[in-house]
Amino acid sequence: MRYRSPRGTQDILPELQPYWHHIVQSAENIATKYNYKKIDTPMFEDTDLFLRGVGEGTDIVEKEMYTFLDRGGDSLTLRPEGTASICRAYIEHGMHTLPQPVRLYYIAPAFRYERPQRGRFRQHHQFGLEAIGDGSPIIDAEIIELAYQYLYSAGISKMQFMINNIGDKSCRPMFVNALVEFYKKRLDDICEDCRLRFSKNPLRLLDCKRTDYLCQQMIGDSPHTVDYLCTECDEHWNRLLSYLDSLNINYIINPRLVRGLDYYTKTVFEVHPQESGSQTALLGGGRYDGLMEELGSKPVPGIGFGSGIERIVGELRTNKNFVIKELIPDAIMIHIGSPASLEVIKIASSLRNEGMNIVIAPDGRSLRGQMRYAESMKASYVIIIGQNEIDSGLAQVKNMSNGTQKSCPINELSPDSFSNID
Ligand code: HAM
């Protein structure tokens, strides 16, 4: 084959579309219930937005961005994630004048030059939302509950909901110091990536997935972020936990959860399927109280999450108990001879106007051939019109599930004609 979709991308074929439709509908229903409004931002932004927003020491910025110079010589980057763009839009459109927090959601593609593997693509799609302008842990609880409700309504009933608090700019340095002290004496035990992280961005040490060195053991024995919180972060954390308890949300405190983007402060969370490793987060997010300032605005707190639609589709497809509704015609119109084909084209049009899904069988096939076609399309009914039917003015309508057949006046065919053929 000469052309294929670029590595790490995929066509979303018609048979997968019902899953996408279902997930997008679940997302929009839930977002609406919590009064989040939709926003769309451009697919690309000034590269600098992501350098500042996502952070120069992150994998996304260092290795994964699709960056290019346009014909005017400006450096642009395909959006690798949604939050920086939403914050840019909040500042650009003066949304601080609206009632706070501003609640926004988006469903959009994101681009990362990653090593493609199961559930990891170079173009993926996120349902994401952001609440900007309120620093209270009540909003954290709202977003976490919303995330839970979204996944549940999309059909993910078993999940691991992990949360942590990574402190803010006043207490995080204390934790990072403790981490550096802990790793300092054992640099020979960790992988070369971790040695780089140690000098550039020590928090990322807790993200290492390699098992060929002692990195996992080191992570297991390392200090916990929540033991180094300042009074404000600690109070935020305890209030959040009490809200989640009162909502009966089943969460796991994961003291090593730090997330892969630099903007996070205080609350961070990730959701993983019940039975799999850490490569496959279905959803991830957290608070980013310093990001707006980083982008040049006055300080405005924010929190949100992003959830990979491809990963949810993948989960639903492996769940035998999850049944998705296919798009199946209500009826196939079978026609023999040209007067009949003239008739069926009109009948199909009028039944569609009354809300039915109607397909006309391909022209020029025998009655048997058209019946075989109707079976392969899994249609519920067929309507048969040949010369005899034209002469008598009566069409044959057949229920494909039980074989029952009856005659119906051609000029009276309507959705009701199908209701009593059982
Ligand atoms: P993230 O964890 O990088 O966070 O991505 C969010 C979700 O997008 C992941 O949990 C995963 O489901 C999906 N995802 C990420 N990368 C890929 C990929 N290469 N292939 C398939 N799915 C992927 C963010 O992007 C933050 N902007 C989330 C956020 C919003 N935090 C606060 N507000």
For ligand 1, say whether the CB of 112 is within 6 Å of any of its atoms: yes
Spacing, Cα 231 to ligand 1 middle (Å)? 30
Written out in words, the top-level CATH class of the domain with range 331-418 is alpha beta
Spatial separation of the C-alpha atoms in residues 89 and 225, rounded to whole Å = 32
Spatial separation of the C-alpha atoms in residues 167 and 369, rounded to whole Å = 69
* Under 8 Å between Cβ of 319 and 159: no
Q: What is the pLDDT along the chain (422 residues), one digit of tens a residue?
A: 899 999 999 999 999 999 999 999 999 999 999 999 999 999 999 999 999 999 887 889 989 999 999 999 999 999 999 999 999 999 999 999 999 999 999 999 999 999 999 999 999 999 999 999 999 999 999 999 999 999 999 999 899 999 999 999 999 999 999 999 999 999 999 999 999 999 988 998 998 888 989 999 999 999 999 999 999 999 999 999 999 999 999 999 999 999 988 899 999 999 999 876 546 899 999 999 999 999 999 999 999 999 999 999 999 999 989 999 989 999 999 999 999 999 999 999 999 999 999 999 999 999 999 999 999 999 999 999 999 999 999 999 999 999 999 999 999 999 998 877 76
- 264: CB partners within 8 A, 6+ apart: 166, 258, 286, 287, 288
- CA proximity to 154, closest of 326, 329, 273: 273
For ligand 1, say whether the CB of 114 is within 6 Å of any of its atoms: yes
Choosing from 124, 163, 276 the residue with most ligand 1 atoms within 8 A of its CB, the one to mutate for a pocket test is 124
Query: Which residue has its alpha carbon closest to ligand 1 atom 26?
Result: 306
Query: Which residue has its alpha carbon closest to ligand 1 atom 30?
Result: 305
Spatial separation of the C-alpha atoms in residues 127 and 205, rounded to whole Å = 28
What is this structure's pTM? 0.93
For ligand 1, say whether the CB of 305 is within 6 Å of any of its atoms: yes
Spacing, Cα 81 to ligand 1 middle (Å)? 7
Q: What angle do CA 181, 187, 191 make, to 5 degrees?
A: 130
**What is the second-level CATH architecture of the domain 17-171+229-317?**
2-Layer Sandwich (3.30)
In eight-state DSSP terms, residue 97 is G
For ligand 1, say whether the CB of 121 is within 6 Å of any of its atoms: yes
In eight-state DSSP terms, residue 2 is -
Choosing from 12, 78, 79, 81 the residue with most ligand 1 atoms within 8 A of its CB, the one to mutate for a pocket test is 81
Spacing, Cα 309 to ligand 1 middle (Å)? 10
For ligand 1, say whether the CB of 306 is within 6 Å of any of its atoms: yes
* pLDDT recorded at residue 102: 98
Query: Which residue has its alpha carbon closest to ligand 1 atom 23?
Result: 308
Query: Domain spans of the chain?
Result: 17-171+229-317, 331-418
Spatial separation of the C-alpha atoms in residues 234 and 236, rounded to whole Å = 5
For ligand 1, say whether the CB of 284 is within 6 Å of any of its atoms: yes
